[in-house]
Structure 1
Amino acid sequence: MQEQLAARFEADRDHLRAVAYRMLGSASEAEDALQEAWLRFARSDTGEVENLTGWLTTVVARVCLTMLRARSRREEPVESLPEPAAAGGPEDETVLADSVGLALLVVLDTLAPAERLAFVLHDLFAVPFDEIAPVVGRTPAATRQLASRARRRVRGADTPGGPVARRREVVRAFLAASRGGDFTGLVALLDPDATLRSDDVAVRMGGNREVVGADAVARDFSGRARDARPALLDGLPGAVWAPRGKVRVAVRFTFDGDTVTGLELLADPDTVARLDIGIED
């Protein structure tokens, strides 16, 4: 039985470590949180739990919240955040893979523990507010406000020349190149292995399910952004199609430095409704 529990926990370890790392900003503390979560899991009766990954995510979040609150009471600085490129073994690489970046981790460390938890779980891992609320001891509406307040703090860290500001300029340049049919300009902004993916609704609207490679993505997107506008999606640079002011499609960008590594077309109304969208001029 213990072996089965361990195997089930290991299946979610990478995801849980990613949650803990973003919550705590420390690889060693993230491992401590996972160890405590494992102990709680091993002692619990989870036979009736339908979504075990969600249950484990909540357990890790509770452990991290306790650690953050203890850290706040001590008023001790967090250990030096590891640079993503300095990851050592395979486990460290997994922790830092698809990282939100060192700059954002530094900003997150300025948030109150409950704000950080609400922002990380909802904005980075798409956990619904009604599931986060019991963890922070708030109503779903109050939890939404925590995340919104955190999101404003994160946006406030967007100083001139900072990573978010530079990426906003990259998005603007990408849209301009698309409007002008500038294939070379698009390719220059894309990682050689860049991907373009569309959700089911976007596919039904004519988008391709998946396009791989800078040349292919540039060809697919060339000329398509005539009516697209730059926007902040949950505080991060992106774009939207919003005829008559109603957002129909959102484009989520992912980056490596200032290079676009991926675009995701989101047209499902429920998905779009969950985004905090700020359309820019």
Structure 2
Amino acid sequence: MTTPSEPGHDQLDPGLSAIMSERRQLINLAYRLLGSLAEAEDVVQETYARWYAMTREQQEAIAAPGGWLMTVASRICLDLLGSARARRERYVGEWIPEPLPDRTEWISGRSGGDPAERVTLDESVNMAFLIVLESMTPAERVAFILHDVFRYPFAEVAEIVGRTPAACRQLASSARRRIGAAQTPTAPTARQAGIVKDFKQAWEAKDINALISLLDPDATAIVDGGGQVSAGLRPIEGSERIARYILALAEYSPGLTLLERTVNGQPGLVAQNDGVTVTVAAFDVPGGRIKHIWAVRNPDKLRPWTAEPHPIEERTDSR
């Protein structure tokens, strides 16, 4: 069977470009549903495999190929989310969604990746939002993302989730309540960036008092090492404990270089050793102090920061 990656497929299939143009939208959907770019790419690959497993007659009988691809990808994600809890129970330590960089901050000298594989950085992918999504049931997450983010009517969501439109409306409403309960007023982006910069400088200066002053007294830090690198197996709670942990990291890695970067659309920090990214940290800054820190150290989740990147572009609605 001819696949999309084979030379000359464009000439054999005039509709290929239209089908492949949906790839960006599928990546956007799957990343929001799964919190992992690697898993999102696997979902998209499987979705296209199912499309090309059909005969030409079957493909031509589908009135809206883009909608068919989104439906199939959503159902694959729904199945994966159903087994994700069991997989994450076996995960070593805390699990954090895979962080994504901003398109203007690619590593110097890197070229752009496949222009079809792009993730839009908006409010639906900031780390605090993704963390709340993790608390939802699979059906809640899919119903909410499809309706509230991708603007699918509940009648279409119902066909994907396998429930009635009324039930899907309730699922999305429940998801919104979860988000509303977890959300706190955040400082303007410029203010957040200033606080993160001050945090970086205090870390570099090994100034424990400055670090503590920048942290909310009840702040929480979560570190994801995936069992591959050293990381706390449980959340670190309290400004002083977090500050001491940060300084211990500085002592353990004296050659660490800290860079101010955008992480999932918000001001964050990247730590490098000899030019290799070893940690990506996202921050939640309500008001004037840091409330949450999510630090990803699992090398498998840092691939977008070290490998050929995926350019980020505005999402367009394919519907």
TM range (shorter): 0.5 to 0.7
State the partner residue of 2:135.
110
Kept in 1, the 8 Å contact 2:24–2:118? The answer is yes
Which whole-Å CA distance do the structure 1 matches of 2:65 and 2:148 have between them?
A: 21
Aligned ranges 1:3-18 → 2 under 5 Å: 3=9, 4=13, 6-18=16-28
C-alpha change, 1:74 and 1:145, in structure 2 (3 Å) is: same
CA 1:34–1:93 in structure 2 vs 1: closer, same or farther (change >3 Å)?
A: closer
2:147 maps to 122
Shift of 1:8: 3.4
Q: 1:7 to 1:80 in 2, by over 3 A?
A: same
2:99 aligns with 82
Which structure 2 segments of 5+ residues have no match? 4-8, 192-264, 268-319
Q: What is the CA-CA distance between 1:82 and the residue it aligns to?
A: 1.2
Separation of aligned partners in 2, 1:109 and 1:79: 9
User: Quick one: distance in 1 between partners of 2:51 and 2:172?
Assistant: 27
1:142 is aligned to 167
Query: Contact 2:129 / 2:179 at 8 angstroms: preserved in 1?
Result: yes
Give, in whole Å, the separation in 2 of the partners of 1:155 and 1:80: 20
Query: What is the CA–CA distance in structure 2 between the aligned matches of 1:130 and 1:75, rounded to whole Å?
Result: 32
**Residue deviations 1:66-122, cap 9 Å, x none?**
111111233445564214337675359953323322221111111110100000000
TM-score, normalisation: structure 1 = 0.53
Residues 52-67 of structure 1 correspond to what in structure 2 (within 5 A)? 52-67=65-80
RMSD between aligned alpha carbons? 3.0
Paired position in structure 1 for 2:304? none
* Corresponding letter in the other structure for 1:113: P
Aligned mates of 1:42, 1:17 — CA distance in 2:
18
**1:138-185 Cα distance to aligned partner (Å, 9 max, x none):** 1000011001100110111113xxxx5446xx9xxxxxxxxxxxxxxx
Is the contact between residue 27 and residue 95 of structure 1 (CA under 8 Å) also seen in structure 2?
Answer: no
Give TM-score, length-normalised by structure 2: 0.47
For 2:38 and 2:106, the matched residues in 1 are separated by 12
Q: Report percent identity of matched pairs.
A: 39
Q: Deviations over 1:24-43 (max 9, x none)?
A: 11000000100110111112
Contact 1:62–1:135, Cα closer than 8 Å, also in 2: yes
Q: Specify the code of the residue in structure 2 equivalent to 1:9.
A: I
Q: Which residue of 2 aligns with 1:35?
A: 45
Q: For residues 216-235 of structure 1, what are the structure 2 equivalents within 5 Å?
A: none
1:96 aligns with 2:119: yes
- 1:132 offset after TM fit, Å? 1.1
The answer (yes or no) to whether the contact 1:104–1:154 under 8 Å persists in 2 is yes
Distance 1:79 1:36 in 2: 24
Query: 1: distance between equivalents of 2:132 and 2:49?
Result: 31
SS in structure 1 at match of 2:60: coil
| 2:61 corresponds to | 48
Aligned length: 169
* Separation in 2, partners of 1:53, 1:130: 17
Stretch of structure 1 that moved more, 6-15 or 146-155 = 6-15
Report if aligned partners of 1:87, 1:93 keep a CA contact under 8 Å in 2: no
Q: Which has the higher contact order (CA 8 A, sep 6+)?
A: 2
After superposing the two structures, state which structure 1 stretch, 79-88 or 42-51, moved more. Answer: 79-88
Which segments of 5 or more consecutive residues in structure 1 lack a partner in the other structure? 171-255, 259-281
Query: Secondary structure of 2:166's partner?
Result: helix
Equivalent of 1:153, from 178, 191, 196?
178
Instruction: Give the conservation status (yes or no) of the 8 Å contact 1:49–1:55.
Output: yes
Instruction: Report the structure number with the largest CA radius of gyration.
Output: 2
Q: Given the superposition, is the C-alpha separation of residues 146 and 92 from structure 1 closer, same or farther in structure 2, using an over 3 Å criterion? A: farther
C-alpha deviation, 1:136, in angstroms: 1.6
Output the CA distance in 2 between the equivalents of 1:151 and 1:21.
19
Give 1 or 2: higher helix fraction: 1
Paired residues of 1:27 and 1:92 also in contact (CA < 8 A): no
